[in-house]
A and B are shown apart, each in its own frame.
Chain A
Amino acid sequence: MVWYLVHTYEDVLNRLIDDCRRMMPNETVGYLVGDIYQWRRKKWLEIIGFIPAPVQETDRYHAIVDKSRMGEIVKLLDEYYPDKIIVGWYHSHPGHGLFLSDLDIRSHQAVFGKSPHVALVVDPTTQPPSYAFFLLTGKGYTRASYIVWRRQHE
């Protein structure tokens, strides 16, 4: 069986996509919350939630995080996801497709340089919404394998 690096849940992903839709036609940005585990010497990453980032300015092509309000992110992380960490970031590309731009790569290198932090890109304009996880490599980036689990209703 394929080893999936990213494991997340359908309800989490749907809520995140809804958030991206609400911000249309502008971009949105935020952080992925979960933990990094290992099993049989292989790392895997679980995403259990997300925190939308406060943005300084946003338009169709950019979303600049308001760094002066980063404390709010930490507070939300402690309050809603105790013992969890930020395992990557997400942003939307409304109508642009799934890729990491030059600026995205530089942002990822600056903030999430440590492997296996991932970047999730969502295009909420497609039907159904499209998304992909990316991982930095030595000279660029590559798609990260992922699996989305559907929780069984109790």
Chain B
Amino acid sequence: MSERKPRITRVRGRKTVERPPPSIGEYEVADSWPPLSPVPQVIERQPIHRSDGYRARALYVVIAIIVVVAIWLGVILAIHGLLPIHLHTVTVTPTTIAIYPTFTLPKATITTTIISTKTSTITKTVTIPMTPSISVNLQVANALTDLIRKTLQGNIENWTMDSVKYLLSGFLYDGELEEFELKSLNETLHQHLNLTLDNNLIALIMALQSAYSSGNLNEEIDDICKLANHALGISEKDCRSVLSQSGGSSRS
């Protein structure tokens, strides 16, 4: 068996060896991401041996089917031609669709809907621009953890809140929450705080992100506190008080 000689090429001043990566023939796969697709099964095509008599019988059956179908079609068309035409009226019922932010967040903007808790009707729709920023992620993480702490009445260990803060600031670094980040955040919230990362909580995070990145926390504080009330159950008054200390000011 001939051995493959590695070829040396120069890439950016460093010698990079040209070498094929290991393959399934050499090793077994213990784990991979993304997962390896299953090896396609090779099905050998078997030759079909049929006699001339069989072919003649098959042809006869096909012709017979075509003739029968043609006769039936003729009969149906003739009946329809004799009957009067009935017009059907189609009534379209207007439907109201409520759109909630989903786990697949768009990169540039997210539209969230604020829902009144009393009447369950849509009262306002806001578009939140998502601008990545290095410092904003920390402000959002601080604000959210402060809101959670207030909701849970301080009955919580500091390191637990630090864990959530640490996680969220890392995830929001690029201004987006990817699927695996949401999953990880949800697990941490659930494990440490018995909270579920539902659409309301995601909307709250995104609204805080928008407010801090645009510097409009004061203008948006009322809307954010409505979301916080919906997501965490914190009173709007407490929320305003918390956010005022986190860089915003209350209008009420």
B32 closest partner in A (C-beta): A147
Q: Contact between A145 and B33 (Cβ–Cβ < 8 Å)?
A: yes
- CB contacts (< 8 Å) of A65 on chain B: these are none
Instruction: Determine if B216 is an interface residue (Cβ-Cβ < 8 Å).
Output: no
- CB contacts (< 8 Å) of A102 on chain B: these are 134, 137-138, 169-170, 173
Q: Contact between A152 and B19 (Cβ–Cβ < 8 Å)?
A: no
Q: Contact between A99 and B32 (Cβ–Cβ < 8 Å)?
A: no
Hey, what's the 0/1 contact readout for B141-171 against A, CB within 8 Å counting as 1? 0000000000000000001001100110111
Q: How far is the CB of A140 from chain B (nearest CB, A)?
A: 3
Q: Contact between A37 and B21 (Cβ–Cβ < 8 Å)?
A: yes
Q: How far is the CB of B223 from chain A (nearest CB, A)?
A: 27
Q: State whether A151 and B27 are in contact (beta carbons under 8 Å apart), knowing that A99-B184, A102-B138 are contacts in the complex.
A: yes
Q: Contact between A61 and B162 (Cβ–Cβ < 8 Å)?
A: yes
Q: State whether A7 and B22 are in contact (beta carbons under 8 Å apart), knowing that A96-B188, A97-B185, A99-B184 are contacts in the complex.
A: yes
Q: State whether A140 and B132 are in contact (beta carbons under 8 Å apart), knowing that A36-B16, A96-B167 are contacts in the complex.
A: yes
Instruction: Determine if B30 is an interface residue (Cβ-Cβ < 8 Å).
Output: yes
Bound-state CA distance A121–B181 (Å) is 13
Q: Contact between B32 and A148 (Cβ–Cβ < 8 Å)?
A: yes
Q: Contact between B170 and A101 (Cβ–Cβ < 8 Å)?
A: yes
Bound-state CA distance A33–B49 (Å) is 61
Partner of A4, one of B20, B32, B163: B32
- CB contacts (< 8 Å) of A150 on chain B: these are 27-30
User: Interface residue tally of chain B, by bracket?
Assistant: 35 or more
Q: Contact between A39 and B33 (Cβ–Cβ < 8 Å)?
A: no
B163 closest partner in A (C-beta): A96
- CB contacts (< 8 Å) of B29 on chain A: these are 147-150
Interface size counted on chain A using CB atoms at 8 A? 41
Q: Contact between B22 and A38 (Cβ–Cβ < 8 Å)?
A: no
Instruction: Determine if B187 is an interface residue (Cβ-Cβ < 8 Å).
Output: yes
Instruction: Determine if B17 is an interface residue (Cβ-Cβ < 8 Å).
Output: yes
Q: How far is the CB of B157 from chain A (nearest CB, A)?
A: 11
- CB contacts (< 8 Å) of B137 on chain A: these are 102
Q: Contact between A38 and B167 (Cβ–Cβ < 8 Å)?
A: no
- CB contacts (< 8 Å) of B191 on chain A: these are 95
Instruction: Determine if B52 is an interface residue (Cβ-Cβ < 8 Å).
Output: no
Instruction: Determine if B53 is an interface residue (Cβ-Cβ < 8 Å).
Output: no
Instruction: Determine if A72 is an interface residue (Cβ-Cβ < 8 Å).
Output: no
Q: Contact between A37 and B30 (Cβ–Cβ < 8 Å)?
A: no
Instruction: Determine if B199 is an interface residue (Cβ-Cβ < 8 Å).
Output: no
Instruction: Determine if A139 is an interface residue (Cβ-Cβ < 8 Å).
Output: yes
- CB contacts (< 8 Å) of A104 on chain B: these are 170
Bound-state CA distance A140–B173 (Å) is 7
Q: How far is the CB of A40 from chain B (nearest CB, A)?
A: 8
Q: Contact between B16 and A37 (Cβ–Cβ < 8 Å)?
A: yes
Hey, what's the 0/1 contact readout for B186-218 against A, CB within 8 Å counting as 1? 011001000000000000000000000000000
- CB contacts (< 8 Å) of A146 on chain B: these are 31-33
Instruction: Determine if B9 is an interface residue (Cβ-Cβ < 8 Å).
Output: yes
Q: How far is the CB of B6 from chain A (nearest CB, A)?
A: 9
B residues with CB within 8 A of A: 9, 11, 16-22, 26-34, 36-37, 132, 134, 137-138, 159, 162-163, 166-167, 169-171, 173-176, 180-181, 184-185, 187-188, 191
Besides A100-B170, A101-B173, 18 new A-B residue pairs in contact (Cβ under 8 A), listed by A number: A2-B32, A2-B37, A4-B32, A9-B27, A39-B19, A39-B20, A96-B163, A96-B166, A96-B167, A99-B170, A105-B170, A140-B175, A141-B173, A146-B32, A147-B31, A148-B31, A149-B26, A149-B27
